[in-house]
A and B are shown apart, each in its own frame.
Chain A
Amino acid sequence: MPVGAFSIQKLNRLLGRVFSQAELVEALENLGCDVEGVEELVFHRCGRCQNILERFVSALPIERCRDCGFEGDGPLEEVGRDRVIRLDLLADRPDLLDVGGLTRALKGYLGLERGLISYRVFRGDWRLVVRRSAPSYRPFIRCAVVRLRVDLPLLREIMRLQEHLHWAIGRDRKLSSIGVYNLGVLTPPIYYTALHAKKGRFTPLGMPGESLSGEEILRRHPKGVGYGHLLEGRSRYPLLVDARGQVLSMPPVINSEETRLREGVEEFFVDVTGTSQKAVEDTLATFLCSLVEWGAKVWSVEVERKDGEVEVGPNLRSRWLSVDYQRAKDWLGLEFSQEEFVRYLEKMRLSARPVGGRGKFRVFYPPYRSDIRHPVDIFEDVAIAVGYSKFPDALVPTMTVGEQREEERISDLARQVMLGLGFTEIMSLMQTTEQRHLDSFGYSSLDYVRLANPKSQERNVVRCHLKTGIMEVFVKNRLAAKPQKFFELGNVVLVDTSRETCTREERRLVFGITDREVGYAHIRAVMDALLRELVLDFEEVEYEPLEDGAFLPNRAARVRAGGYWGELGEVHPRVLESFGLTHPVVLGELCLREIEFSD
């Protein structure tokens, strides 16, 4: 999860009132933000692409530009410092990813402003034409023209918000990605077309003076390397050009150097392309609404589709949902009046209007709240506005009867026996390795669960018996005093393709003793003791010789009694050797019950 850093000074400036660090942190937490801490941030400027990079004061100075790969003599130029609140960013709330968005929410929560903001989009005369050649694998595009004087902090903020939206809504630029360009160097109309991967060339951002083909960009440019997989296997890449043929960008990878946004620019062109129409529209709306917090004015752009139809966007009008006041109270378990209900919503920057009495409301929400898809999302806003600490202590009044699982009841009996016999309980992980779980014991015919993507080869299978864990505990304690007596109760997973999940589980018990002198008779006595307690008719218990790689021949048995089955014996010295043990070990493993998954 990415972490965002938000300038306290900037927040206070946009709020128009000075709040202390503690007040801001508390308000942000009550809004649902994950506050990581407060720290000082240092900004560096790349000597080549001019991009601004940031680091925490505790980190090493930046020597290499992350955007264009430039390396100067020593660290990049330091261009400023700032005190920031660090937040774990929330993928589910893309409107809280930047200072503008946080300010908007804080203004409502802290009582500085309330209700819905209405966003005005001026009628503009720019047009974007989607050419027939535009790639159909990235079909959606929406644009806007923005007037806002760009200074250094704003440039930084725009770049950061772009990145965060790419993560939160764009799923790393797949569903949507944003491009921003200096309007002053563009000639309308803009065309959405395609770049021949090998033949088409332009100068990508951060590489002035170089002209690269699309393929070269994917190979050589850091952004090409990072996002090239989205265009992999295509012969033509998405491309935006203006009427003079000036390239704007190759979405979703890189902009051109000539159209880059610089300090001092007063008007810019914004596009969002993507593979999901909803993601494209939400991304553009969220982006623009945050810029408005900084003082931006927005003009519409006409998009002429391939079929000749013209759509005018962006749409920053508020949306609405029908919400039932009584249902809100029931859902939250809280009592509040209709007036309070409306005030809570206004505190969260929404607005509400009663419709036809009887507690029906039309709740209006701004275009940046793309997380709202159902009335329950409105209920949550009410809960946050009330404050979670204000909820009364209550339980559901319905009477129900508790009941435990059968395997837990039997496990408790077995645990009682084992503790009574002086065995100490252990727990081990269910993930283990083929080498220790199967090869060591000479189990070659067992079918077991294998993982496709384990982080380490130390844990690449799921246990199908319990012997490995207890053997590893003997290894762990090999220098401690003997005798040692351990047991473990746990589930094992067995492959069974007739089941819904192709597996079944058993609750098993394993117990073992290690000592200078210990043998079959010792473990047999323990197994008998256990079965005497678990089985009503002990006469039913049957032992049969067992030939098995894990145990010594003629020193191992299979046991069966009243639905339980298991095996026990003296562990083969070959197995001891592979675990690095030098004292004899005897083990017993008993299946207590197959787990029944209810349906």
Chain B
Amino acid sequence: MVVWLNEEQMKIYRQLRLGEAVPVGEILERTGLLEPPVMGFCVYAQRQGWVEIAQEEKDEFILRHRDFEELPERRFLREFSRVVELETREVASKCRELGLNMGDILKWGALRGWFRKEGKRFEILPEALRYLDRLDEDERALEYLRSRGRALVDELVGEGIDRDRLYRLLARRSSLVKVKRRTFRTVKLLRDLRPKLKQERVYFTPEELESGAWRELLPHLKPYDVRLPAKEVYPAKAHPLQRILHQTRQAFLELGFLEIVSPCVESAFWDFDALFQPQDHPAREMQDTFYLEHPREGKLPASSLVRKVSRTHEDGGDTGSKGWGYRWSGKLARQLVLRTHTTASTVRALASHPRPPLKVFCVGRVFRNETISFKHLPEFHQVDGIIVDERGSFATLLGTLRAFYRKMGFDSVKFKPAFFPYTEPSAEVFVWMESKGEWIEMGGAGLFRPEVTEPLGCKVPVLAWGLGLERLAMLRYGVDDIRSLYWSDMKWLKEVKLCQ
């Protein structure tokens, strides 16, 4: 059996000695590797039965301040150097004089057996005199630490310091030292692996491939566990909403529609008047529509067209309608607005090409004066389309919309009667959203009223629709907050799936 090791593991193995415990610290030092990979390999090797890891816990004493000079109880003892009895307050005043903490003197002096306090009496005991000219065990340890900063307890015991007294006096004196428990590991090689050892290869070099040396090296190629996870990488992607817009355009192109556009800044004439929306209609009010401060007014189209539209508003003109019955104003029609629907583009196309057949669509931004919230943005995208056709009808309108939504992945489409000022009949369009278990409203559709088409010179049915696209994107990508479509959070852009 072959034992595969990579280059790093090979280095570690070379530091091991048969039957001899080698400290891990030594391996780190000699290989220059960090502890995690070294221990990782050793644990693996132990599981294979190649090595044995032993570990031992040892205390390490760490000196807190290297500028430490003398214990307070020793300083105090030096003042007297003999057996005496004192009043407690005399001790206190002496401490004040020497700048010592009386608590330290009482606590540590008593623990050492140097001093005793009973009531108001304080004694320096004969035991203390034995230490007048020699250091106590802990003081010797402190001396040792002063030059090194830290030392293992074994090291200190090796210096002849008494282990028990060291622990009793110094281990709990946290203002001077810190005692840390440390783990020391050694690794002992149990079997000589050399005969079976093989250094694995990750890649062949171009030279090996060219010379054919790869043939001999093939056995050195380590077999991989192909089920292990790999690093996560993501491709650069088109914006999710842009993908919906693209798919929408694609769907209408495939259905034989010509793509058109119209300006975002539009005159009220094309946005409202040409669609037979009376000039005092609530939708034209300031709270719904963005009006421009600069530039403020645009130009009207040919006066013959304007006259036909204005007459239709006033009394129906030649359309067989009764009109709205009010005085139409050219000034209001010249006002510039941010277009409130892309129907402005389809009605412009109709005015330019009033004779059938015509099938056009427009995907674009529209603007409504909404307060920004999770549900509303002041701008969003719509697709508008019209079919101008002798044989167009309400039935073919509904059929076209069903075909569009089938292309977008929705098989169930429902229509509900609705009332819009410029279409007759009018419908609201709903799609069935399986994941939500409900019908979702997508937009409106209908046949343009003759009051819209006839002034533009069109005498055949015009099938029209305007559908929102952000909602489609939100449903497809599981987004609850419309604002996040425009936030461009990198994590979302990276992770949102192309196949969604």
Contacts and interface: CB of A to CB of B under 8 A. Distances in A.
Interface string B419-438: 11100111100000000000
A402 B392 CA distance: 18
Contacts of B491: 480
B115 interface: no
A502 B237 contact: no
B294 A430 contact: no
Nearest to A488: B239
Nearest to B256: A400
Given A400-B357, A449-B292, A501-B336, A454 B369 contact: yes
B371 A456 contact: yes
Interface in A473-490: 473, 476-477, 480, 484-486, 489
Nearest to A279: B325
A399 interface: yes
A446 interface: no
A491 interface: yes
21 contacts: A333-B396, A373-B451, A380-B417, A388-B416, A391-B395, A401-B258, A402-B255, A402-B259, A424-B236, A424-B494, A426-B488, A427-B241, A427-B242, A449-B295, A451-B293, A455-B372, A476-B487, A497-B295, A500-B298, A500-B301, A505-B264
Interface of A: 29-32, 34, 90-93, 171, 174-175, 276-279, 330-334, 371, 373-377, 379-380, 383-384, 388-389, 391-405, 407-408, 415, 418-431, 448-456, 458-459, 462, 473, 476-477, 480, 484-486, 489, 491, 493, 495, 497, 500-505, 595, 597-599
Contacts of B222: none
Nearest to B299: A500
A458 B371 CA distance: 11
B425 A380 contact: yes
Contacts of B487: 476
A469 B491 CA distance: 18
A319 B159 CA distance: 121
A502 B395 contact: no
A502 B425 contact: no
Given A402-B256, A597-B262, A450 B395 contact: no
A90 B415 contact: no
B203 interface: no
B490 interface: yes
Nearest to B265: A503
Given A396-B389, A477-B490, A451 B338 contact: yes
B488 A376 contact: no
B417 A276 contact: no
Contacts of B391: 396-398
Contacts of B267: 500-501
B113 interface: no
A431 B338 CA distance: 10
B359 to A, nearest CB: 5
Contacts of A458: 372
Nearest to A382: B425
A477 B323 CA distance: 55
Contact of B419 (A93, A449, A473): A93
B55 interface: no
Contact of A400 (B258, B280, B291, B485): B258
A334 B267 CA distance: 38
B266 A501 contact: yes
Given A32-B418, A451-B291, A451-B338, A278 B325 contact: yes
Interface string B282-300: 1000100011111111110
B261 to A, nearest CB: 6
A485 B494 CA distance: 12
Contacts of B299: 500-502
Nearest to A406: B259
B365 interface: yes
B461 interface: yes
Interface of B: 235-239, 241-242, 249, 252-267, 280, 282, 286, 290-299, 301, 316, 319-323, 325-326, 336, 338, 348-349, 352, 356-359, 365, 367, 369-372, 377-379, 387, 389-396, 398-400, 402-403, 414-421, 424-427, 447, 449-451, 461, 463, 485-491, 493-494
A490 B257 CA distance: 22
A388 B450 CA distance: 21
A421 B237 CA distance: 11
Contacts of B316: 373-374
Given A402-B255, A503-B265, A374 B387 contact: no
A400 B238 CA distance: 30
Given A92-B419, A398-B391, A430-B379, A388 B424 contact: no
Given A276-B325, A404-B249, A505-B263, A426 B424 contact: no
Given A384-B425, A403-B259, 9 more contacts: A330-B393, A334-B393, A373-B451, A374-B319, A408-B259, A425-B238, A452-B291, A456-B372, A480-B491
Contacts of B252: 402
Contacts of B349: 598
A434 to B, nearest CB: 12
Nearest to B267: A501
A389 B429 CA distance: 12
List 4 tightest A-B contacts by C-beta distance, closest first: A333-B393, A333-B395, A32-B417, A380-B425
Contact of A450 (B266, B294, B322, B348): B294
A404 B257 CA distance: 9
B237 A419 contact: yes
Contacts of B254: 402
Given A32-B419, A450-B292, A497-B295, A428 B486 contact: yes
A25 to B, nearest CB: 12
A429 B293 contact: no
Contact of A427 (B266, B323, B486): B486
Most buried by B among A93, A408, A480, A497: A408
Contacts of B348: 597, 599
Contacts of B325: 276-279
A333 to B, nearest CB: 3
A171 B451 CA distance: 21
A400 B253 CA distance: 10
A384 B402 CA distance: 19
B237 A424 contact: yes
Contacts of A450: 292-294
A429 B377 contact: yes
A599 B298 CA distance: 16
B271 to A, nearest CB: 10
A371 B425 CA distance: 12
Choose among A276, A377, A425, A459 the residue with the greatest number of B CB atoms under 10 Å from its CB: A425
Contacts of B387: 396
A513 to B, nearest CB: 12
Contact of B488 (A334, A451, A486, A595): A486
A400 B400 CA distance: 14
A252 to B, nearest CB: 15
Contacts of A333: 393-396
Contact of B290 (A408, A454, A500): A454
A522 to B, nearest CB: 16
B398 A374 contact: no
A393 B424 contact: no
A429 B394 contact: no
A489 B242 CA distance: 10
Nearest to B300: A500
A405 B489 contact: no
A398 B389 contact: yes
B326 A375 contact: no
A556 to B, nearest CB: 25
Contacts of A276: 325-326
